Structure 1
Amino acid sequence: MKKDDVHEMREMMIAKQVARIIPELKLVDPADFIAYLHDEHFANISDIIDAATELHFYPHTLRFANGGSFELDWDTPPTITLDMEFSNDGVTAYFQLIMSPEGFGVELDNVVFENPQDDETDTRQLIDALNNARLKKTSGK
């Protein structure tokens, strides 16, 4: 499998898990995210992320990574980008969560494995780490 395919597959797996918290994050006014990012009130964003994740993930497995940006102009709706980190079972993934009125996306920066092996084994380890971080597990997902 090509490196781009592996990266894209891992990105999709993370996005599938992050999708669980998007409804809670969309309850926050985009202006609040923009103000917190602009004024670098990262603790406020961290609190929002923690509250959104607490029903779906074990504490501190999915968290805000103290950075982000926003796009805001007169002609388009705002887009909020938050730096995020997932860490569990020896796997740490760094990514951006991008939210807009049209939906959300994930851009994976890097995945670090405590004991890296081949792409297939590492991807399986990421899947297991994501599943083990969830509070409510379902079979086959």
Structure 2
Amino acid sequence: MLDIRNRHTAVRERLLAEALQEIVAELRLVDVVDYIAFLRMGEHGNIGDIVRSSSELHMKPGVLRFADGGEIDLNWGSVPVIALDLEFRHEPVVVHFRLELGAVNAAVDIRYIEVEDGEDATAAEVTDRLRHAIEASKIKPQPVTSVA
């Protein structure tokens, strides 16, 4: 049986993963070889630009950013996995997490979550604040109006 922290962490990771689905699809438009080269050569600015442009249609500016770290799991005979350190920031919540991108799967691993004035918040309250921050960070599609 999972302890309460693990249950809340799993729920938070699921919330974040669901919010990032469209962004993950955008990130996969970049060739895996480019991620490998950028990570190996320390070209973090290029990855930051990719993350920024991939998220701009789905989240408000500055909400999702590359946190200057990542890893490559690349072995002979296996599918490469690119792990990017990312930060989700929408007041009052900041989440540091790792996004793992495989050929068909993606995973979110939360490393740290901070909630402004949240030192007395329960685990459920922190999860609820994250849920609200994710919802508030999304760019809402504008209704299409017809011109007569």
Q: TM-score, normalised by structure 1?
A: 0.93
Residue in 2 that maps onto 1:122: 126
User: Take 1:122 and 1:28, find their aligned partners in 2: how far apart are those partners?
Assistant: 34
Percent identity, aligned pairs only, is 32
List aligned pairs for 1:33-52, cutoff 5 A. Answer: 33-52=35-54
Runs of 5+ unmatched residues, structure 1: none
Counterpart selection for 1:99 from 95, 98, 101 = 101
Counterpart selection for 1:84 from 83, 86, 99 = 86
User: Take 1:77 and 1:10, find their aligned partners in 2: how far apart are those partners?
Assistant: 27
- Secondary structure (helix, strand or coil) at the match of 1:20 reads helix
- Secondary structure (helix, strand or coil) at the match of 1:126 reads helix
Segments ≥4 residues shifted beyond 4 Å: none
Residues 26-81 of structure 1, C-alpha deviations (whole Å, 9 max, x = no match)? 11000000000000000000000001000000011011100000011211011100
Residues 2-31 of structure 1, C-alpha deviations (whole Å, 9 max, x = no match)? 111011101110111111201111110000
Q: How many Å apart are 1:102 and its aligned residue? A: 2.5
List aligned pairs for 1:6-45, cutoff 5 A. Answer: 6-45=8-47
Amino acid at match of 2:80: P
Provide the aligned length of Structure 1 versus Structure 2. 137
Residue in 2 that maps onto 1:131: 135
Q: How many Å apart are 1:123 and its aligned residue? A: 1.1
Amino acid at match of 2:138: R
- Secondary structure (helix, strand or coil) at the match of 2:22 reads coil
Q: TM-score, normalised by structure 2?
A: 0.89
Amino acid at match of 2:134: L
| Alignment root-mean-square deviation, CA | 1.1
Q: How many Å apart are 1:110 and its aligned residue? A: 1.1
- Secondary structure (helix, strand or coil) at the match of 1:106 reads strand
Q: Which has the larger radius of gyration?
A: 2
Amino acid at match of 2:115: F
